[in-house]
Structure 1
Amino acid sequence: MEHDFANKSAPRSWKVGTSFSLANPIDLVAVKEAGLECIELTWQPLRLSDRDVRLACDEVVNKARELGIELWSLHIPFGTEWDPSSPDAAVRERVVSQVRAVLSSADAWNIRTAVIHPSWEPVPAEERSRRLEFARQTLGVLSREAAELGVKLAAECLPRTCLGRSADEMDYLLADNPELGVCCDVNHLFQEPPQQFIERLGGRIVTTHISDNDGTDEKHWMPGEGIIAWDEVIEALAKTGYRGPIVHEVRKPDPFRLAENWRKVLKS
């Protein structure tokens, strides 16, 4: 994909936020006081009933709204029973039904972006092409249904044997699915440098997961603690006109440390 970069954005204008998990909740008051502006809501790895999820999320949603924190995105659960690439047609049908219910909740909470994993793992090499096609079909159905609700579905790039681990594979998943966006998780990209992935996919990137790694596997470290070239990542996002938020997805997030660290990353 070629870009003329005429629509370059300003990194200092990007909202800064963090993932918020019901499994390891952080203090929303601290999120607000630290100057973070948005959160991504998730309950992974908890296995909660629909009623439990709804009640717990309602509390978070209401508290965030009281504090003026934007509920930017929702992370759809992932795992074997949530795998849109499953070779089992019955599983894929259940995935559509389950994700449909989550999208309905996102709509009710006025969360307008939903992040989904294109697969679970491992994906055997001999099944890869077939599984990519299953994922493309399932994500197409779900992204169209999400769009009808006013929700943007974003496929997350993933590491190791998962699907969507490269720009080539993400391009394949996006083909014929104009409603589908991309969640660029820079911590998951090992087939090519994150900045190359970003420049290739350009305007299809609608949200981010931000953390660092050691160059061999995902680590969810604070940006700057690993090997990612953040100046090049930020420049690539800016060149392609990215205007979504910087959503940190680090282990044991401290809102004040996140905010201060991102300021340092921008200065450097």
Structure 2
Amino acid sequence: MTPLRIGACLQASEIAPHRDWLFDAERDVEIQDFMSHAALTSEFEERIAAAVKALDGHSGRRGIHGPFEGLDIDNKDAELRPLITKRFLKALEAADRIGARQMVLHSPYTLWYQNNLLASPHYAEKKLTRIHEIMAPVVRSAETHGITLVIENIHDVDPATRRKMVESFGSDAIALSIDTGHAQLARRMTGAPPVDYFVRDAGDRLAHVHLQDLDGFADRHWPPGEGEIEWAAVFAALSDCNATPHLVLELQDPEKIPQGFGHLQALGLAC
């Protein structure tokens, strides 16, 4: 198995200590400065300028994490849905202006959804209709800007559910993201399949991966090696994938990026 090149998720202010490692090898970078209301309103220009400055000289692939708090891509309130769309469009502007070609958004699928799927008529169809109302303008804007929206598993139980939602748009501007920790947590909490199954189900639609470890109880965002994830199986599935997803460490403590990378490198999985 050929080791895979990995990068990291950071705020602009956190890049400097990792600059040589990231920039010299043209590693993937995900900027995480554009998730809050303030970041996309009153602090917008300031954060754009900071990200552009911090990324000067970087020639690898770039992405951003889009906003998510209170911004479910399935919202039952018709008055709120246009506001969510507007927020996502603003985040796409940020991505474009800093040269990012991906934006991470969160999945709306949960165990509640999975268990209630057949409890009322047209449950899945109604949910998908609301998702399209919010996301269709965002997908069209992403197509125009050459940016791919990547939908990250959060509480997902069945990876196929999110994949089919992505496929329903019929657009190359929306694809799949996998957070390894979230998948492992779902495995422990809800009986979801193991992390490598999430990867294999995504197949060629996999465009982005958050690499993080945990204990199976909480969303720890520990460096690989500190938790319980079976990294050999995960990277075997990634190696079998025909896509070339952004692979980025998303750690609670950015100072542990070298530790997490070192663990995967020592296993012969990352370079």
TM bracket (short chain): 0.7 to 0.9
**Who is 1:257 aligned against?**
259
2:114 counterpart of 1:114: no
CA distance in 2, matches of 1:120, 1:79: 15
- Which of 87, 112, 119 matches 1:98? 87
CA distance in 2, matches of 1:176, 1:96: 18
Q: Indicate conservation of the 8 Å contact 1:78/1:120, yes or no.
A: no
CA distance in 1, matches of 2:84, 2:107: 11
CA distance in 1, matches of 2:109, 2:159: 18
CA distance in 1, matches of 2:250, 2:129: 28
| CA-CA distance at 1:119 after TM superposition | 3.3
Deviates more, 1:120-129 or 1:107-116: 120-129
Given the two structures, how large is their TM-score scaled by the length of structure 1?
Answer: 0.81
| CA-CA distance at 1:267 after TM superposition | 5.4
Give identity over the alignment, percent: 18
Q: Taking structure 1 as reference, are residues 78 and 39 closer, same or farther at Cα in structure 2, changes over 3 Å only?
A: same
CA distance in 1, matches of 2:165, 2:202: 12
Paired residue total: 249
Q: Indicate conservation of the 8 Å contact 2:48/2:94, yes or no.
A: no
**Who is 2:247 aligned against?**
246
CA distance in 2, matches of 1:94, 1:267: 42
| TM alignment of 1:44-83, pairs within 5 A | 46-48=36-38, 50-66=41-57, 68=58, 70=60, 72-80=62-70, 82-83=71-72
| CA-CA distance at 1:123 after TM superposition | 6.0
Give the secondary-structure state (helix, strand or coil) at the position aligned to 1:115. strand
Q: Indicate conservation of the 8 Å contact 1:113/1:153, yes or no.
A: yes
Per-residue CA shift, 1:103-122, capped at 9, x if unaligned?
12211222100111133989
**Who is 2:205 aligned against?**
204
Q: Indicate conservation of the 8 Å contact 1:136/1:173, yes or no.
A: no
Return the letter of the residue paired with 2:91.
Answer: V
The two structures, once aligned, show a CA RMSD in angstroms of 2.7
CA distance in 1, matches of 2:165, 2:236: 25
Per-residue CA shift, 1:125-176, capped at 9, x if unaligned?
65974445422553344223211111001111112xxxx4431221231232
2:157 counterpart of 1:173: no
Return the letter of the residue paired with 1:145.
Answer: S
For structure 2, list consecutive stretches of 5 or more residues without a partner in the other structure.
118-122, 187-191
| CA-CA distance at 1:217 after TM superposition | 3.7
Deviates more, 1:122-131 or 1:215-224: 122-131
CA distance in 1, matches of 2:203, 2:35: 31
Q: Taking structure 1 as reference, are residues 173 and 48 closer, same or farther at Cα in structure 2, changes over 3 Å only?
A: same
Return the letter of the residue paired with 1:38.
Answer: D
Q: Taking structure 1 as reference, are residues 51 and 227 closer, same or farther at Cα in structure 2, changes over 3 Å only?
A: same
Q: Taking structure 1 as reference, are residues 144 and 57 closer, same or farther at Cα in structure 2, changes over 3 Å only?
A: same
Q: Indicate conservation of the 8 Å contact 2:61/2:246, yes or no.
A: no
Return the letter of the residue paired with 2:16.
Answer: V
**Who is 1:183 aligned against?**
177
Q: Indicate conservation of the 8 Å contact 1:117/1:157, yes or no.
A: yes
Per-residue CA shift, 1:214-257, capped at 9, x if unaligned?
22442211112212111010010110123223201111112433
**Who is 2:152 aligned against?**
156
For structure 1, list consecutive stretches of 5 or more residues without a partner in the other structure.
1-9
Q: Indicate conservation of the 8 Å contact 2:109/2:162, yes or no.
A: no
Deviates more, 1:186-195 or 1:57-66: 57-66
Q: Taking structure 1 as reference, are residues 150 and 104 closer, same or farther at Cα in structure 2, changes over 3 Å only?
A: same
Q: Taking structure 1 as reference, are residues 60 and 145 closer, same or farther at Cα in structure 2, changes over 3 Å only?
A: closer
Q: Indicate conservation of the 8 Å contact 2:89/2:138, yes or no.
A: yes
Return the letter of the residue paired with 1:235.
Answer: A
Deviates more, 1:184-193 or 1:33-42: 33-42
CA distance in 1, matches of 2:81, 2:231: 37
Give the secondary-structure state (helix, strand or coil) at the position aligned to 1:213. coil
Give the secondary-structure state (helix, strand or coil) at the position aligned to 1:18. strand
**Who is 1:32 aligned against?**
19
